């Protein structure tokens, strides 16, 4: 966000802190990534407000405070490999790229994969690999992962994703019916099983199986 005026940056970071994003590493990562690069069209002038906004393919870019809270709960370490389910605008993956060694992000809409891949290259985010895939099955060829983040809501944490989480690994995802308020939960895989923590109420698009219609 180095190209913005200091007041806009200060207001952006203040809104994050006000909503509970207090981790210094997360705040620094979000200060480095300009959300305005991920919001185009009619809503570009609202890129720095703490609100979700529509993007291509009927998807949304999450509000910054939710991105911050999910990233904070994920507790990413510098040597971690992270799997993101639901690339969307690419904003969440970009923030994670400043914290992790490697980010794999999968998306069911071809158009979004193409758009975000170009943007990651323009921003020099070389540790992100974006690919077209059915995210409900994860990415078994690169598993296991230190951290997994899901940016779409499932009724329950998907079994294939839990299976791809390392011992000691953390997964953060929204859980609940798609037409109701969901709970953001943190799942930690231990030697003896899975620990679940409820974090806050959220609202995300549903996690769908299969690939989206081929957008041109």
Cβ-count burial of 198 within 10 angstroms (0-12 exposed, 13-18 middle, 19+ buried)? exposed
What is the β-pairing status of strands 145-150 and 194-202? Answer: unpaired
62 counts as catalytic: yes
Structure tokens at 99: 């914290």
Q: How far apart are CA 124 and CA 143, in angstroms?
A: 25
CA angle 173, 174, 175 (to 5 degrees): 115
| Annotated catalytic residue, options 2, 56, 62, 89 | 62
What is the β-pairing status of strands 145-150 and 128-132? Answer: unpaired
Q: How far apart are CA 83 and CA 103, in angstroms?
A: 6
Of 40, 41, 66, the residue nearest 52 (C-alpha) = 66
Q: Which residues are catalytic?
A: 62
């Amino acid at each position: 966000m180095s190209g913005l005026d200091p007041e806009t940056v200060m207001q952006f970071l203040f809104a994050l802190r006000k909503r509970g994003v207090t981790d210094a590493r997360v705040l620094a990562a979000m200060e480095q990534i300009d959300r305005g690069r991920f919001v185009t069209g009619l809503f570009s002038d609202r890129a720095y407000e703490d609100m979700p906004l529509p993007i291509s393919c009927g998807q949304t870019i999450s509000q910054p405070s939710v991105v911050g809270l999910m990233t904070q709960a994920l507790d990413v370490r510098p040597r971690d490999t992270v799997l993101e389910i639901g690339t969307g605008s690419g904003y969440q993956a970009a923030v994670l790229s400043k914290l992790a060694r490697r980010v794999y992000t999968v998306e069911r809409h071809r158009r979004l994969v193409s758009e975000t891949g170009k943007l990651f290259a323009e921003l020099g985010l070389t540790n992100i690999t974006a690919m077209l895939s059915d995210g409900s099955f994860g990415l078994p060829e690169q598993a296991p992962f230190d951290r997994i983040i899901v940016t779409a809501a499932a009724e329950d944490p998907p079994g294939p994703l839990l299976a791809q989480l390392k011992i000691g690994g953390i997964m953060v995802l929204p859980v609940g019916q798609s037409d109701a308020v969901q709970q953001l939960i943190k799942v930690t895989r231990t030697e003896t099983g899975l620990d679940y923590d409820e974090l806050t109420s959220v609202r995300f698009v549903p996690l769908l199986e299969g690939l989206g219609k081929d957008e041109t």
